[in-house]
Structure 1
Amino acid sequence: MHRKMTITLDEAVYEGLCRRVGRRKMSQFIEDLLRPHVLDTALDEGYRAMAADKAREAEAMEWCNGIAADMTDEAR
């Protein structure tokens, strides 16, 4: 769902925005700029990409198991 919002910009900034992206594309341009700063989707996408890398996941699991074994040995 989209919400309507009114913002105030310096006239020069507004004119530059009109020239750069066009009047009908301003909302999407601004939303695309703001999204990574207000939603934590960048981290989510990065974690999804890492989880999809099977070789990396296997290596990470091996490393975790090695640390767990080291901790068990130290406790004895």
Structure 2
Amino acid sequence: MRRKMTITLDEAVYEGLYRTVGRRKMSQFIEDLLRPHVVDTSLDDGYRAMAADTVREAEAMEWCNALAGDMADAAR
């Protein structure tokens, strides 16, 4: 969900922002700067690290497949 917000900037800051990122990209630029300071991303970082661990991912897939097989056997 997106929310609209009005902010006040010094004219020189606004002009520099306009020259640097362009009119249609200011909001995303500001959001990208603020996000690490106001949103807890430690959970995302943890998931990203786990996904990069190919040995762990292979073991997890093996476990999931075995569990699915057990469930299929139980349904019979």
Compute the TM-score of the two structures, normalised by the length of structure 2. Answer: 0.62
After TM superposition, which residue ranges in structure 1, 4 or more long, deviate above 3 angstroms? none
Secondary structure of residue in 2 paired with 1:47: helix
- Aligned-pair CA distance for 1:54: 4.9
1:51: Cα distance to partner? 2.3
Identity of aligned residues (%): 73
- 1:3 Cα shift? 1.1
Aligned: 1:18 with 2:24:
no
- Extract unaligned runs of 5+ from structure 1: 57-76
Aligned twin of 1:31? 31
Q: Indicate whether 1:47 and 2:40 are aligned.
A: no
In the superposition, the TM-score normalised over structure 1's length comes to 0.62
- What is the root-mean-square deviation in Å for CA atoms of aligned residues? 1.6
Q: Secondary structure at the match of 1:51?
A: helix
The amino acid of 1:51's aligned partner reads M
2: distance between equivalents of 1:51 and 1:5?
Answer: 36
Query: When the two structures are aligned, how many residues end up with a matched partner?
Result: 55
Look up the match of 1:74: none
The C-alpha deviation readout for 1:23-71, integer Å capped at 9, x for no partner, is: 1111111111111111112x12221133231557xxxxxxxxxxxxxxx
List alignment gaps of at least 5 residues for structure 2: 57-76
Letter in 2 for 1:23: R
